[in-house]
């Protein structure tokens, strides 16, 4: 289905966000005085998937190898620019104050970066009139017709793959080693700004040649059944309730057990 779209500059997508950004963008965001969080999720990965499992290989490209107990896992760490209310770069006239160097995710919205997701207009913040235009965002063939959107999507996918090992080093430097179970929840880590910037610079400058090593990660869950399953698989796991009082927070995507 052809999707028509033209931005009305309503500014809704610049409020109360967790904006996925690359390592380069995270360093710029922090230097500008913004906050960045790490969203961590782990996928059990007992063996490599078959070559035709394109979704699994997509996840593999943007993750790094780790161990949880005896179980091999892949960890996806998403760096998120975080702000409540209006983005610190949003001007009173709803223009972006860093338009020329705004993050790739800002250039992509409301398109989808994940090739396995279809654009669902109802889930987007754009007002109805934004979709009633002659401008085409996505053609019948699924291709993004806007060159900046298409280029930014490609840039985000490349950054995801390029940054995976940098993120492994980043977590090792920061001592971060707890995640949610993919599709069930994530663990959000929010290191202090200066420390995170220093750690990102150190992780980045370590280069691609060095071995990161296989780190030991704990998988956090808010569901008893999941914890039992993880334990029976020899995984290092931990109830979400144990994060209370720490700097890490658990965010569940499915209902958990009553406390």
Q: How far is the CB of 98 from ligand SF4 (least distance, A)?
A: 6
Q: Report DSSP state, residue 84.
A: S
Nearer to ligand SF4, 150 or 233 (CB): 150
Give 43's contacts (C-beta < 8 A, 6+ positions apart): 59, 63, 73, 74, 75, 76, 182
Residue placing its CB nearer to ligand SF4 in the complex, 103 or 185: 103
| Nearer to ligand SF4 (CB atom), residue 89 or residue 226 | 89
- Is there a contact between 27 and 201 (Cβ–Cβ < 8 Å)? yes
Question: CA 172, 75, 200, 213 torsion: positive or negative?
Answer: positive
Report the residue number, 14 or 73, with the smaller CB distance to ligand SF4.
14
- The DSSP secondary structure of 86-141, one letter per residue, reads B-TTB-TTS-BTTGGG--HHHHHTTS-SSTTS---GGGS-S-GGGGSSS-EEE-TT
Which CB, 123 or 208, lies closer to ligand SF4?
Answer: 123
Residue closer to ligand SF4 by CB (options 129, 242) is 129
* Rg of the Cα atoms in the chain: 19
What CA–CA distance (Å, rounded) separates 168 from 12? 33
The nearest distance, CB 151 to ligand SF4, in angstroms, is 16
**Residue 38: CB partners within 8 Å, gap ≥ 6?**
77, 78, 79, 80, 167, 170, 171, 176, 188, 189, 190, 191
Q: Whole-number minimum distance, CB 251 to ligand SF4, in Å? A: 21
- Tell me the torsion sign for CA atoms 245, 246, 249, 254: negative
Q: What is the number of other CB atoms lying within 10 angstroms of the CB of residue 7?
A: 14
Where do contacts with ligand SF4 occur on this chain (CB under 6 A)? 7-14, 19, 87, 89-90, 96, 98, 102-103, 106, 109-110, 125-126, 130
Min dist. Cβ of residue 13 to ligand SF4 (A): 3
Minimum Å gap between C-beta 174 and ligand SF4 is 25
- The distance of closest approach from Cβ of residue 124 to ligand SF4 in the complex, given in angstroms and rounded to an integer, is 7
């Amino acid at each position: 289905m052809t999707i028509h779209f033209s931005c009305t500059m309503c500014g809704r997508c610049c409020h109360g966000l967790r904006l996925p950004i690359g390592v380069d963008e995270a360093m710029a965001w922090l230097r500008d005085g913004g906050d960045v969080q790490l969203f961590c999720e782990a996928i059990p990965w007992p063996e490599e998937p078959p070559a035709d499992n394109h979704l699994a290989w997509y996840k593999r490209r943007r993750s790094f190898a780790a161990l949880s107990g005896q179980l091999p896992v892949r960890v996806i760490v998403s760096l998120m620019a975080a702000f409540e209310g209006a983005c610190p770069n949003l001007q009173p006239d709803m223009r972006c104050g860093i338009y020329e160097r705004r993050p790739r995710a800002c250039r992509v919205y409301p398109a989808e970066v994940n090739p396995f997701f279809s654009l669902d207009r109802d889930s987007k913040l754009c007002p109805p009139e934004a979709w009633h235009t002659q401008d085409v965002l996505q053609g019948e063939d699924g291709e993004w017709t806007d060159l900046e959107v298409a280029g930014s999507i490609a840039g985000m996918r490349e950054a995801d793959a390029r940054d995976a090992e940098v993120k492994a080093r980043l977590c090792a430097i920061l001592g971060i080693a707890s995640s949610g179970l993919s599709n069930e929840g994530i663990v959000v880590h929010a290191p202090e700004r200066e420390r995170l910037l220093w750690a990102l610079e150190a992780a980045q400058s370590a280069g691609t040649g060095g071995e990161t090593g296989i780190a030991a990660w704990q998988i956090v869950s808010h569901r008893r059944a999941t914890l039992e399953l993880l334990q029976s698989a020899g995984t290092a796991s931990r109830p979400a309730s144990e994060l209370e009082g720490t700097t890490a927070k658990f965010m569940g995507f499915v209902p958990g057990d009553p406390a």
